[in-house]
Chain A
Amino acid sequence: MSAILEARGLSKSFGAVIAAADINVSVARDSVVGLIGSNGAGKTTFINMVTGYMKPGAGTIRFEGHDITPLAPRRITQLGIARSFQVPQLFNSLAVRDNLLAAVGIVAAAASRWAHGAITRERAETVTDEMLGRFGLDAYRDKPAGVLPEGVRKLLDIAMALVVKPRILLLDEPTSGVSADEKFGIMDVVMSAVKSDRVTVLFVEHDMDIVNRYAQRVLAFYDGRIIADGAPGAVLKDDEVRKYVIGEELHVAR
């Protein structure tokens, strides 16, 4: 499979804290990659660098062969990389449906199609209602986004990211702050939505059951470095991952 995203020699530090140290990753098209690691390991920094939220101190990021390292977030989004956030970024004063409607409108405006009338109000409403159905948000359509349960806010955040019709979707802790019962439900909805659109997914996750079930490949971060890279089964059994990521006590036989 061809690489859709390539990071070479990525480094980033905040004063004395090293958030990324010479990260080299190649992500295959249509794959689902789980990013694991303890807090401060560098997972979110990696996502932030890929999506232009912060610039790496050194290294390059290539998306479909194009160097996107110096680009602004909106340019990276326009090229086909979308993201969700640890804290959902919604239009809190608007209802759920209006959030999606606004997102469709913004994407249309950003693409300048509005001027030619390619996306009419009716078309925008059709796309919005379709998204509401796909993400199971119909029941909340008229509720203000600011008062929704966290799981619904996460879903709405991801749905808004998918309005862009990205080729890569980066999800920053899509199930954090959500009850254990809801986690698999959220991931099922998201995965079925991205599968039909053939979107490559990278997701940051702390729940190893989620990682095991949905990721085809796992990158384990520790201290700004990738300490393990491979299939979930193999990575989750790795000694360093068990010690630094999962937090197990290792008893080495002498």
Chain B
Amino acid sequence: MTDHTLRVLLGVAALLLAGLPFMPQWLAFLITLALARGLVVLGLALLMRTGLVSFGQGLYYCLGAYAAALLDHAAGIHDAALMLLAALLIPVVVALVLGLLLASYRGIFFAMLSLAFSMIVFGLLIKTSSLGSSDGFNVATRSIFGITIADGYNGRVFMAATAILSVIAAGALHRYLNSHLGRLSAAIRDNELRVEYLGASVRNVVHLNYVIAAALGGIGGGLTALAVGHIDPDMAYWTTSGEFVFVAVLSGTGSVLAPFFGSVIFEAIRTLANQYAPNIWQMTLGITMLAIIMFLPAGLWALFRRKARAA
């Protein structure tokens, strides 16, 4: 079967960028959020391919957002490129350290430990009044790569940046997953013992994937902070991490495109449910999840797989 992933990625990104000048602000904002969260889910999907479910991906989402926002808040740096660089680096450093411990755990222990770390950060942020405690604080961005962003264009610039970063991240991850090293992830999920007895380090691969997932989570958080213009500790709260797991299950892990697709669908369902059934929007999401688990256990992406096989 021919692999069209990269072509589809570039095609969708080109379409989004071409349509950007004609897009209403609200739609650009919605797509930005969906793609940014899709990046976090992309990292989670990588962990799931390795047989691990993290209930604490909100930790890196939050760290990325706070790292970007703190450049503005504490250092007076308002350049989006530098803020996103901080959103990438801080989660990577934290994941390198935490990964030393987490790489030894599997199953429910990995899930609960990752959740515990995110709740520790949530607790710390809630108690830190200099960072706005539970209210968080606002983020201001004035330029990107030193070029001043004109008033009223922030939303479109951030959407373009999010689309470009999503293509780069998904393309790079697609290449990684198709390398010998990347294919180890699925092998580890299937049989760790055999992988070790073929001379590869399961621990190192899990650690590497954990750091990659953190990097994606951080970038997603950074982009969200820039787009929303406000951050708060809820980004590390367990319900945020749960939402990422929800989207990962909804979309499936069959392709690097799936998390973005799932994330867009999730945002659409949430927005529509909020608008037309504000009192039962959580129930709407719950019913959607129930239907996915019952009829599409491999996620929405399985629909494309079936279609590709039929063709």
Interface residues of A (CB under 8 A from B): 51, 72-74, 77-78, 82-83, 85, 89-94, 102-103, 105-111, 114, 119, 124, 160-161, 163-164
CB within 8 Å for A89 and B191 given contacts A83-B197, A110-B198, A160-B198: yes
* Residues from chain B with Cβ under 8 Å of A161 in the complex: 197
Which residues, 154 to 194 on B, are CB-close (under 8 Å) to A?
Answer: 179-181, 183-184, 186-187, 190-191, 193-194
Collect the chain A residues with CB atoms within 8 Å of residue B180's CB.
105-106, 108-109, 114, 119, 124
Return B46 CB to nearest CB of chain A, in Å. 16
**B199 proximal to A (CB < 8 A):** yes
* Other-chain contact of A107, B190, B191, B193, B198 (Cβ < 8 Å): B198
Tell me whether B302 is interfacial, beta carbon within 8 Å.
Answer: no
User: Of all chain B residues, which has the CB nearest A114?
Assistant: B180
Interface check B200, CB cutoff 8 A? yes
Across the interface, which residues of B come within 8 angstroms of A106, CB to CB?
Answer: 180, 183-184, 187, 195, 198-200
Q: Is B135 an interface residue (CB 8 A)?
A: no
| 3 tightest Cβ-Cβ pairs between the two chains A and B | A105-B180, A110-B199, A110-B200
Judge whether B199 and A74 touch: CB under 8 Å: yes
A161 nearest in chain B by CB position: B197
Interface size range on B against A: 10 to 19
A74 touches B197 (CB 8 A): yes
Chain A CB within 10 Å, residue with most, of B181, B193, B199, B201: B199
| Nearest-CB residue, chain B, relative to A115 | B181
Q: Could you say which residues of chain B place their CB within 8 Å of the CB of A119? A: 180
Q: Would you give the shortest CB distance from A97 to chain B, in whole angstroms?
A: 14
Contact of A114 among B179, B195, B197 (CB under 8 A): B179
Contact with A74, one of B179, B186, B191, B201 (Cβ below 8 angstroms): B201
Interface string of B224-258 (1 = CB under 8 A from A): 00000000000000000000000000000000000
14 contacts between A and B (CB under 8 A): A74-B201, A85-B193, A89-B191, A91-B194, A94-B190, A102-B183, A102-B187, A103-B198, A106-B187, A107-B199, A109-B200, A110-B198, A114-B179, A114-B181
Minimum distance in angstroms from A88 CB to a CB of chain B: 9
Q: How far is the CA of A124 from the CA of B63 in the complex (A)?
A: 40
Which of B179, B186, B198 is A163 in contact with, Cβ under 8 Å?
A: B198
Known contacts A105-B180, A114-B179, A82 near B197 by CB under 8 Å: yes
Complex-state Cα separation, A35 to B237, whole angstroms: 57
